[in-house]
Chain A
Amino acid sequence: MAKTVLITDDTAFMRMTLKNVIEKNGYQVVGEASDGEEAVALYKELKPDLVTMDITMPKMDGISAIKEIMKIDPQAKIIVCSAMGQKPMVIEALSAGAKDFLVKPFDAERVVESLRKIGS
Chain B
Amino acid sequence: MDLSSFKEVFAAEARDYLQSLNEDLLDFEKNPQDHSTVDEMFRAAHSLKGMAGTMGFDELAEFTHEMESVLDLLRTGELQPTTHVINVLFMAVDTLELLLDETISERPISSYAEQIAALRALVENPQVAETAISGEMTYSAELNEFNRETIKQGIAQGYKAFAVSVVLRPKTILKSVRVYTVFQALEEVSTIVQSNPAVQDLEDEKFDRQFALVLLTKESGDRIRQIVEGISEIESVRVEEIVLDTVEAVDKAQDETAAAVSTQVPSAPVRISRQEPLVRVETQRLDKLINLVGELVISRTQVIEMVKSGESTDRMGALDQLDRITTELQYAAMSLRMVPIKQVFDRFPRMVRDLAQARGKDINLEIFGETTELDRSIVNQIGDPLVHLLRNSIDHGIEPKAERIAKGKPAAGTIRLSARHEGSHILIEISDDGQGLNIDRIREKAIERGLLPVGTKEISMAEAVNFLFHPGFSTAETVTDLSGRGVGLDAVKATVESLSGTIDMESEPGRSTRTIIKLPLTLAIIKALLVKVDGETVAIPIQAVRENIQVEPGQIKTIQQNDVIMLRNEVLPLYDLADCLGFAPVDRSGPLPVIIVEVRGEKVGFIVEDLIGQQEIVIKSLSSIVGDVKGVAGATVLGNGRIALIIDNSTLIG
Instruction: Name A's B-contacting residues (CB within 8 A).
Output: 84, 87, 90-91, 94-95, 99-101, 103, 110, 113-114, 117-118, 120
Q: Which of A84, A91, A95, A113 contacts B232 (CB 8 A)?
A: A113
Q: Are A87 and B177 within 8 A (Cβ)?
A: yes
Contacts of B39-56 to chain A: CB distance below 8 A: none
Q: Are B184 and A94 within 8 A (Cβ)?
A: yes
Q: Are A101 and B230 within 8 A (Cβ)?
A: no
Q: Are B232 and A94 within 8 A (Cβ)?
A: no
Q: Could you tell me the distance in whole angstroms from the C-beta of A30 to the nearest C-beta in chain B?
A: 22
Given A87-B176, A90-B174, A103-B174; A117-B181 close (CB under 8 Å): no
Q: Which of A101, A114, A120 contacts B174 (CB 8 A)?
A: A101
Q: Mark B227-240, 1 if CB is under 8 A from A, else 0.
A: 00011110000000
What is the interface of chain A mostly: helix, strand, loop, or mixed?
helix
B232 to chain A: which residues have CB within 8 Å?
A: 100, 110, 113-114, 117-118
19 new A-B contacts at CB < 8 Å, known A90-B174, A103-B173, A120-B230: A87-B174, A87-B176, A91-B177, A94-B177, A94-B180, A94-B181, A99-B181, A100-B231, A101-B174, A101-B181, A103-B174, A110-B232, A110-B233, A113-B233, A114-B232, A117-B230, A117-B231, A117-B232, A118-B232
Interface residues on B, range: 10 to 19
For the complex of A and B, 4 pairs with smallest distance between CB atoms: A103-B173, A114-B232, A90-B177, A113-B232
Give the CA-CA distance A87 to B173 in the complex, in Å. 10
Q: Who on chain A is nearest to B234 by CB?
A: A117
Give the CA-CA distance A101 to B232 in the complex, in Å. 9
Q: Who on chain A is nearest to B171 by CB?
A: A107
Given A110-B233, A113-B233, A120-B230; A95-B174 close (CB under 8 Å): no
Q: Who on chain B is nearest to A80 by CB?
A: B177
Give the CA-CA distance A113 to B174 in the complex, in Å. 16
Give the CA-CA distance A99 to B182 in the complex, in Å. 10
B176 to chain A: which residues have CB within 8 Å?
A: 87
Q: Who on chain B is nearest to A82 by CB?
A: B174
Contacts of B167-188 to chain A: CB distance below 8 A: 173-174, 176-177, 180-181, 184
| Sample (19) of A-B pairs whose CB atoms are under 8 Å apart | A87-B176, A87-B177, A91-B177, A94-B177, A94-B181, A94-B184, A99-B181, A100-B181, A100-B232, A101-B177, A101-B181, A103-B173, A110-B232, A110-B233, A113-B232, A113-B233, A117-B230, A117-B232, A120-B230
Give the CA-CA distance A118 to B232 in the complex, in Å. 8
A87 to chain B: which residues have CB within 8 Å?
A: 174, 176-177
Q: Are B184 and A95 within 8 A (Cβ)?
A: yes
Specify which of B176, B177, B184, B232 lies most central, judged by the most chain A CB atoms within 10 Å of its CB. Answer: B232
Q: Could you tell me the distance in whole angstroms from the C-beta of A77 to the nearest C-beta in chain B?
A: 12
Give the CA-CA distance A103 to B176 in the complex, in Å. 13
Give the CA-CA distance A85 to B184 in the complex, in Å. 21
Q: Could you tell me the distance in whole angstroms from the C-beta of A90 to the nearest C-beta in chain B?
A: 5
Q: Mark B173-217, 1 if CB is under 8 A from A, else 0.
A: 110110011001000000000000000000000000000000000
